[in-house]
Amino acid sequence: MSLTDQIKAEARRLGFERVGIVPAGPALTHGYYRDWLAEGYAGEMAYLHRHAVPKAHATGLLSSARSVICLALNYRPPEPAGNAAAGAALRGRVSRYAWGGDYHDLLHERLERLAAFIETHAGGTVHRRGAVDSAPFMEREWAVRAGLGWVGKNAMLIDWELGSYLFLAELLTDLVLDYDEPPAAPRSAGREPRRDRGAENGGGAPALAVADLGLRESCGSCTACIDACPTEAIVADKTVDARRCISYLTIELKGPIPADLREGVGDWIFGCDVCQEVCPWNRHTPETREAAFLGNSSRAVPALPELLALDESGFRERFRGTPIWRTRRRGLLRNTAIALGNAAPTATPASAVTAIGALATALGDAEPVVRGAAAWALGRYGGTAAREALAGALATDTDPAVQAEAKLALAASPASGGPGAVTPHRGAALVD
Ligand code: SF4
Ligand code: SF4
């Protein structure tokens, strides 16, 4: 068995369902990436600008790179019991990739084991470097070139059998290996590289998008993800304006979620799966084989009032070592308040009482971004209790941004018609 075949067999043994290998070289769609940055689509993710230079070539990650081993692992968790309750009982939703433990830890550990195997079997020192999503590497382009799938209109890497609930990882090495040939697009499906982009691609040449690589793609005429996106974040084929994307808004954005996008966030409190849920290529895909990615209802559809009552130590205890850690307590509670506000139109009277109590308490939170979101959410309920709480914040909160939120919320909230004269409570049971 060749070394390449041994590496692939070991990768599969380590749990990677897909492995493909391509020679290291320039990233062919780098100009497209630079255009995407220039449009401002990265929002506040400054690290994506810093990554622009190393992303141009595989050697940006490993200077001696000769080969890129592309790997994919299916994380699709089974739907936990209680998921059907989402939306009906003040519950939020969490993107599936965050239902389990921190995937970075697991993938890096597997990459290390694969690297150790390669060193043993290559018979000498091997330079290598592993990468998992946040590294400066154009991982979807490389995955496509390695034959792992295509990039769908929702900008996700989609495998023809496994769908798109995939974690991608790469191992770069200075070994020369045998390379994969990705499936080519049928001749009739070929298209001209887009001409409206690419001044930065060198010599005025058009910037290649992944669709221009001449490889097989299978979205066809489907537009389900574009049509279903709650915030209209998919602005073109494979192009997501992160500033509108719920994943960015609930995870990466540090300040308040822009007012015009709050309703679209719905009940998502960490990430968003809508453009994957509607994708026909995810309809019949297998569940993950990894125990670490299995969810439960408290992770998949957590009770919102309970989350809003978390203090720092409660947050640490519940979310350390999980992907949700990234958004920190203040981000999670901001999102939770927004989701509670979005539950107002469908809340039962009892649920509304619970929500208003939790939100009124959150008006006393130490974080202005949480207080501001709570004020907005209270304005969605209206009624005596919500309005009294807002008036109190307007009179006592010293943060101008929170004051402004409270003022707007008071102006927008109905004086009656909400759940009525409810005294905001502290410390009572918060989930009905
Ligand atoms: Fe739209 Fe959600 Fe997909 Fe972002 S993750 S593009 S908000 S559907
Ligand atoms: Fe492609 Fe349709 Fe899936 Fe979007 S929903 S990625 S258009 S197949």
Residue 102, amino acid: D
**pLDDT values of the chain reduced to their tens digit, one per residue, 432 residues:** 999 999 999 999 999 999 999 999 999 999 999 999 999 999 999 999 999 999 999 999 999 999 999 999 999 999 876 545 444 589 999 999 999 999 999 999 999 999 999 999 998 889 999 999 879 999 999 999 999 999 999 999 999 999 999 999 999 999 999 999 988 887 654 444 444 444 433 444 557 888 888 899 999 999 999 999 999 999 999 999 999 999 999 999 999 999 999 999 999 999 999 999 999 999 999 999 999 998 778 889 999 999 999 999 999 999 999 999 999 999 999 999 999 999 999 999 999 999 999 999 999 999 999 999 999 999 999 999 999 999 999 999 999 999 999 999 999 987 765 543 333 332 222 222
∠ CA 155-343-298, nearest 5°, is 70
Q: Please name the residue whose Cα sits nearest to atom 1 of ligand 2.
A: 219
CA–CA separation, 279 vs 299, rounded Å?
A: 23
For the beta carbon of residue 230, count every other beta carbon within 10 angstroms.
Answer: 17
Atom of ligand 2 nearest to the CA of 223: 7
Q: Judge contact between 154 and 233, C-beta under 8 A.
A: no
> Is any atom of ligand 1 closer than 6 Å to the C-beta of 240?
yes
- Report the distance separating Cα 330 and Cα 336, nearest Å: 10
Cβ < 6 A, ligand 2 pocket? 152-154, 219, 222-225, 278-281
Q: How far apart are CA 377 and CA 336, in angstroms?
A: 10
For residue 371, CA distances in Å to 10, 306, 398, 404 come to 51, 16, 11, 11
Taking the CA of residue 231 as reference, the ligand 1 atom at the shortest distance is 7
CA distances (Å), origin 366, targets 127, 142, 287, 311, 425: 48, 44, 41, 10, 18
Residues 6+ apart with CB under 8 A from 32: 197, 198, 201, 207, 208, 209, 210
Ligand 1 site, residue 233, Cβ cutoff 6 A = yes
What's residue 424's pLDDT? 33
- Asked whether 151 and 157 are in contact (CB, 8 A), the reply is yes
- The residue whose C-alpha atom lies closest to atom 2 belonging to ligand 2 is 222
Taking CA atoms, 139 is separated from 70, 101, 372, in Å, by 8, 22, 37
pTM of this prediction exceeds 0.85: yes
pLDDT number for residue 70: 98
For the Cβ of 164 lying below 6 angstroms from any atom of ligand 1, the answer is: no
367 Cα to the center of ligand 2, angstroms: 39
Instruction: Give pLDDT, residue 408.
Output: 97
* CA of 235 relative to ligand 1 center, distance in Å: 11
Residue in the block written with tokens 């409270």: 406
Report the distance separating Cα 295 and Cα 298, nearest Å.
Answer: 8
> What integer pLDDT is reported at residue 187 of this predicted model?
63
- Quote the CA–CA distance of 364 and 389 in Å, as a whole number: 10
Q: How far is the CA of 156 from the centre of ligand 2 (A)?
A: 9
**133 carries an active-site annotation:** yes
Ligand nearest to the CA of 229: 1
Neighbours of 427 (CB within 10 A): 8
Instruction: Return d(Cα 134, Cα 137) in angstroms, integer.
Output: 8
pLDDT of residue 210: 85
- Contact (Cβ atoms closer than 8 angstroms) between residue 217 and residue 148: no
Q: 164: closest CA among 230, 270, 238?
A: 238
Q: Which of 35, 105, 133, 241 is catalytic?
A: 133
Question: Would you state the pLDDT for residue 417?
Answer: 52
